[in-house]
Amino acid sequence: MTIPNTVWNSIADPVSADLPCGHDLRQSDDSSKLLFHIRHLRHQATTEERQALLQETDHAAWVKMWQELLTEISAVLGRQSKDLELLTYLLEAALRLDGFRGLYQALEYVTTLISEHWPALHPCSETDDDELRLRHLNGLNGLHGDGTLLPVIVTTPLLPATDCPSITLGRYLRAQDAGTSNNKRAEPNDQLPVLKADAASVRPETVQESRQAIGRAIRAFDSLDEQLTLHCDAAFFSSAIRNRLRNCEEALTYICGPAPLPAQEAAVVDENQHDGATGDSPMGPEADHDTLDASQATDQPVPGSNSVLSRQQAMKSLGEVATYFERSEPHSPIGYAVRQLIGWGSMELPQLMEHLIPDEHARDTFFLLSGIRGRQDAE
């Protein structure tokens, strides 16, 4: 299903000139009932979907329920309230109904709303509790377990449906497992050669469109992460979704091969290969001295804008890395480990050894054997 532009336009347009984000649905009985109704619809849709997947029955029923949910969500977002909880349900519905194209479109519109309207997006809190406001968005990724979006990414077709079973990340992972463990109980369709054969029936243009949709979804999710990091004091959990999307990209590359070079780049490669084969390269025997000097100069590393040229700059970059992981992945040890390295890097060696070897006798023995002068000796 292609989600019509009217849905996206209603989400992007302000609710009114005076209140672009409308009112908080939780502030009145009538609007609260509407919010509860939407939550109930979502619960019904996910329950129906789960049963259909377990029983391998027709998915038309739960698809229709997600379509109904999308219609109601877009109407409320357009006419009553720009609400983060509803935007979360929008992301869930868009991926189910329109695959990775729907996901990247929804991500781009959500990112735009956050960029243009934060902190006016609902639910608003008198205490500015960003952690509470991001609760539903963070539920997509999950903290201590899989979030609500992760299993949907696994079952979303990487390529449009054909007469063959859908090519999904889940099917690819099962095929990988069957290939490495010699699992004799694996389904015949869950074999890597079968996946490649199924993908071969898809037009190259369609494969490229799917590849671009997944890549665009990754970039759109990164943009959402950047905007939330910029505007929110609370952490946005993102690593699991990002990794799952990249797994989809890697799976499609394995099944269908790498993306073809753009026509212009391919022509340059062919021309260079042709020049090398015919001996017409500017590095050939007839190359002049200036050309040789220029070619040799390009082999030397040239400091660019992203080069680290000093210890101070390197330590500052590490600090930025630590801050990023502490905010975006507070459950990960990476930020704390980098922060620890920064602290150690600011110490003199004797001070660092005192920190790492608390036993004075063992530390003195180490200093004696290594020739390092302790801080007291240095004084």
Q: Is the predicted pLDDT of residue 326 greater than 90, yes or no?
A: no
pLDDT band at 308 (very low <50, low <70, confident <90, very high): confident
Residue at 192 is within a domain: no
Higher per-residue confidence, 89 vs 347: 89
Residues 156, 68: one domain? Answer: yes
Examine the pLDDT at 292 and tell me if it is beyond 60.
no
Whether 224 and 315 share a structural domain: no
How many domains is the chain partitioned into structurally? Answer: 2
In a domain, 303, yes or no: no
Tell me whether the omega of the peptide bond preceding residue 303 falls within 30 degrees of 0, making it cis.
no
Asked if residue 326 and residue 210 are part of one domain, the reply reads no
**Is the same domain home to 19 and 104?**
yes
Q: Is residue 120, in this structure, part of any structural domain at all? A: yes
- Higher per-residue confidence, 187 vs 4: 4
Could you count the other beta carbons within 10 Å of the beta carbon of residue 106? 27
Q: Tell me the pLDDT tens digit for each residue of 331-361.
A: 778 888 888 888 888 777 777 787 788 888 8
> pLDDT for 13-63, tens place per residue?
999 999 999 999 999 899 999 999 999 999 999 999 998 888 767 778 889
Residue 211 and residue 357 in one domain = no
Q: Could you report how far apart the first and last alpha carbons of the chain are, in Å? A: 76
Same domain for 213 and 351, yes or no, is no
pLDDT over 70, % of the chain? 81
Residue 142 has pLDDT above 70, yes or no: yes
In a domain, 275, yes or no: no
Task: Give the pLDDT confidence score for residue 337 in this predicted structure.
Answer: 86
The reply to whether 237 and 332 lie within a common domain is no
User: Among the three residues 256, 274, 301, which one is the final residue of a domain in this structure?
Assistant: 256
pLDDT, residue 300, reads: 44
Say whether pLDDT at 161 is over 90.
Answer: no
H helix or E strand, kind and range, residue 162: none
Question: Given this model, what pLDDT does residue 14 score?
Answer: 95
Reported confidence tier of residue 199, pLDDT bands at 50, 70, 90: very high
114 and 239 housed in the same domain = yes
- Residues 187-207 have a mean pLDDT of 88
Task: Residue 342: give the domain boundaries.
Answer: 311-378
Residue 332 lies in a domain: yes
**171 part of a folded domain:** no
Q: How far is CA 163 from the centre of its chain?
A: 31
- What is the percent of the chain where pLDDT is above 90? 50
Longest alpha-carbon distance in the chain: 85
Question: Do 326 and 206 share a structural domain?
Answer: no
Q: Would residue 197 count as lying in a domain?
A: no
Query: Would you place residue 302 in the very low, low, confident or very high pLDDT band (cuts 50, 70, 90)?
Result: very low
| Nearest residue to 130 (alpha-carbon basis) of 50, 46, 230, 262 | 230
Q: Label residue 270 by pLDDT band (50, 70, 90).
A: low
Residue range 114-118: mean pLDDT, rounded: 95
Domain identity same for 45 and 155: yes
331 CB-near residues (< 8 Å, 6+ apart): 143, 144, 237
How much is the average pLDDT of 305-320?
A: 77
Is residue 271 domain-resident? Answer: no
The predicted structure's pLDDT at residue 303: 43
Q: Where a domain ends, among 236, 256, 276?
A: 256
Question: Mean pLDDT over all residues of the chain?
Answer: 83
Q: Identify whether residues 209 and 317 lie together within a single domain.
A: no
The torsion region of residue 288 among left (phi > 0), alpha (psi -120 to 50) and beta comes to beta
Residue 209 has pLDDT above 60, yes or no: yes
3-class DSSP state of 374: coil
Cis (ω within 30 of 0) for the bond into 119?
yes
Are 112 and 219 in a shared domain?
yes
- What is the pLDDT at residue 184? 56
